[in-house]
Chains A and B, each alone.
Chain A
Amino acid sequence: MHIDSKCELLGKVQGFLLLLLFCFQFAHASDTIQVCKNCKYTTITSAIGAAKNGDFVMVSNGEYSEGKILIGKQLTLWGENFPVIEGNGQSDVFFVDADSVVVSGFEIRNTGISYIYDLAGIKINGHSHCRIENNRLYNTFFGIYLKHANECIVKNNEIIGQATSEASSGNAIHLWYSKNAEISGNSCKGHRDGIYFEFVEHSHITGNLSEGNLRYGLHFMFSNDDRYVNNTFRNNGAGVAVMFSRVIIMQDNLFEKNWGPSSYGLLLKDILDGEITGNRFNENTIGIFADGSNRIKITGNEFRQNGWALKILGSCMDNTISGNNFISNTFDLITNTSTNYNRYEGNFWSEYTGYDLNKDGIGDIPYKPVKLFSMIVSNLPVSIILLRSSFVDLINFAEKITPSLTPPSLADPSPLMKMILK
């Protein structure tokens, strides 16, 4: 028995030593492999071929043109002073085929356009825990492309495309069937969609700039439980489109100057349980356009100088619009139905002309945001030329006194007298 216990102790010590040795070896194994013109490795591909899992590959400044660079090991690829990786318009540039890969500090150019393959600057296919950071991607078809990739981080990249038509262009950041992604601090310009989410769940989009994209600044399809905060969407075909998705949180974003015949700051199409708070909508043709969207809370936003602050179709129910500022919009609200299933309360409307006798800051008469003329314009768009004409003011006034065409139940019963200051 005594010997037995001694053996056991010895065994334990042995095991510990083995573990220590293993750890040491593992730590020691992380080598740094330098790639430059005069180094042992002059191409990134050869460096990757020589590397082990966990190695660093440092790439010095210079131009590299190697076609498709396959990263099949768990590596950290580090560019020094933005080495240029030229795609020569033929294939993907970086193709990540391993978990926990880091790609940082590269300038990636010219993937070329393909109608068969989704060519991308950096593509991750079926692997998780990757980081794509501080890269510049110019004239890529798709910029960063994540497919079945979970827990990945895409951060501080600059992605500038030269898209000319929707059919022949890709998205700057494209996610497909991914979970728990973090997209932050990127700037996406000149693509079809700035950021595209399809079947993406529990992901965060923070502090990005999406500007001058042909279709949408940010596009959700069938993606649930995501949130986007503090982003700027400017001058896109439409700012953000949220379609067929549930529980999307939209907070503190800026939607600006999304102008055009079918242009919106935010497009909601068949979505449920969203939350839209603290956003600013400035100078969009339509601030928020909602179709078939239910149980959404639109609170604490500011709508300033939009053509139409809100366009909420009859297919929307149980939405709450409260505590928003509506300032100097051409029209505050337009709808296509005479019945109203949404709640409007406690907003500030700069067009409101009521009074507040008991001085509680809430207007004593309800505000009706739908004007007769905005209904005329939605039926007969050319009549917009008569906007702000005295005759139009006259018929709006007549309609206000005796409503007959505007939805009678659509009103804010407690309009605020003063703007909500934050």
Chain B
Amino acid sequence: MRTFYPASMFKILKYSLFDLTRSRWTYGYFLFYLIFTFGLLYFSNDVSKAIISMMNIILILNPLIATLFGALYFYGSKEFAELLLALPLKRSSIFMGKYLGLSLSLSLSYLLGTGIPFLFYEIQATGQAWNFLLLTVAGLFLTFIFTGLSFLVSIRFENTIKGFGISIFIWLFFAIIYDGIFLLTLLIFEQYPLDKYALIMTLFNPIDLSRVLIMLKLDISALMGYTGAVFNKFLGTGLGMIVAFGSLVIWIVVPVFVFIRFAKKKDF
């Protein structure tokens, strides 16, 4: 017997979402952002400065929490998943439901945690509303991307410790190591035209992509100082935004697609 695919997926999504809203983690995450954002806005007096500080935190924390929580949730609810597998449900709808359930619950905590303080401080009146909106969207993308990546790792490795280790390494790699290597290669190959290389390298790291997306709004004055034609075309026109958004979408779709493929084939 086959159930209608989206219906069963939404049912599982609903269950995992309810399950997660009872979790202390979700509240912890929400409270952290709430207090942190309120504190930042209270102490900095300047919304544009607060947004830059927020960016630094969001680019690090959203992927980290999504990675950790993704692995934790996947391994933690493995038995429940195995139970579901015994039922006449499509595998893809089970795992898709779980993925969306977690991503949405994390996104909700993040959205409310940062949104409430900014609304309280009347972001719409400061002229920074678009910058904040862009930051929020980038944060949401990162949550979805890194939940997907950590699910992918978790389904690939049976061993919990190994799964966690690799997930965290992936986060560390994208958050810090990648940019280190990136800068090093730029310095080594200084003599060569590096415009295209730099842009392509950026596309291969979702954290860099989100960062560039926000930078296009916040630091445009500095970016316009650069002379490279390719660069300027990318940064100075709407093209940059479109390509960055497109790549972020690919960064969600590809890991989730591979994850679902693994889930279908895997012998539980």
Contact = CB atoms under 8 A, between A and B. Distances in A.
B224 A350 contact: no
Contacts, number: 114
Interface string A301-322: 0000111100000000000000
Contact of A261 (B180, B198, B220, B225): B225
Contact of A382 (B198, B220, B221, B222): B198
B11 interface: no
Nearest to A381: B226
Contacts of B228: 381-382
A285 B208 contact: no
Contacts of B87: none
A285 B225 contact: yes
A408 interface: no
B56 interface: yes
B227 to A, nearest CB: 4
A383 B186 contact: yes
Contacts of B190: 380
B49 A382 contact: no
Interface in B164-212: 175-177, 179-180, 182-183, 186-187, 190, 194-195, 198-199, 201-202, 207-208, 211-212
B82 interface: no
Given A380-B187, A383-B186, A388-B55, A285 B215 contact: no
Given A380-B187, A382-B195, A389 B222 contact: no
Given A382-B195, A389-B179, A390-B59, A328 B46 contact: yes
B123 interface: no
A328 B48 contact: yes
B241 interface: no
Instruction: Please classify the interface of chain B as helix (H, G, I), strand (E, B), loop, or mixed, using the class held by over half of its residues.
Output: helix
Interface stretch (A157-165, A335-343, A391-399): A391-399
A350 B223 CA distance: 20
B211 A388 contact: yes
Contact of B221 (A261, A305, A389, A393): A305
A352 to B, nearest CB: 11
Instruction: Please classify the interface of chain A as helix (H, G, I), strand (E, B), loop, or mixed, using the class held by over half of its residues.
Output: loop
A386 B183 contact: yes
B60 interface: yes
B222 A328 contact: no
B107 to A, nearest CB: 22
B52 A307 contact: no
Contact of A390 (B176, B194, B195): B176
A331 B222 contact: yes
Interface in A123-181: none
A377 B186 CA distance: 11
B32 interface: no
A286 interface: yes
B223 A382 contact: no
A206 to B, nearest CB: 27
B227 A307 contact: no
A388 B56 contact: yes
B125 to A, nearest CB: 18
A387 B226 contact: no
B241 to A, nearest CB: 15
Contacts of B46: 327-328, 350
B176 A394 contact: yes
B231 interface: yes
A268 B240 CA distance: 33
Contacts of B79: none
Given A380-B186, A382-B195, A263 B225 contact: yes
A392 B215 CA distance: 14
B55 A261 contact: no
A284 B220 CA distance: 9
Contacts of B199: 385
A31 B56 CA distance: 74
Contact of B226 (A327, A384, A394): A384
A307 B223 contact: yes
Given A307-B225, A386-B179, A327 B49 contact: yes
Contacts of A381: 225-228
A107 interface: no
A348 B207 CA distance: 31
Interface in A256-315: 257, 259-261, 263, 283-286, 305-308
A374 to B, nearest CB: 9
A384 B194 contact: no
B52 A388 contact: yes
A260 B221 CA distance: 8
A394 B180 CA distance: 10
Nearest to B44: A350
A250 to B, nearest CB: 21
A391 B48 contact: no
Contacts of B177: 391
B224 A389 contact: no
A330 interface: yes
A286 B225 contact: yes
Most chain B CB atoms below 10 A, which of A257, A263, A327, A385: A385
Given A350-B46, A380-B190, A387-B215, A307 B224 contact: yes
A285 B45 CA distance: 25
A388 B219 contact: yes
A285 B186 contact: no
9 contacts: A259-B224, A260-B224, A305-B48, A350-B46, A381-B225, A382-B195, A382-B231, A384-B222, A388-B56
Give the 7 A-B CB pairs with smallest separation, nearest first.
Answer: A307-B222, A391-B179, A330-B222, A307-B221, A285-B225, A261-B227, A259-B224
Given A380-B187, A386-B208, 4 more contacts: A350-B49, A376-B183, A388-B211, A389-B211
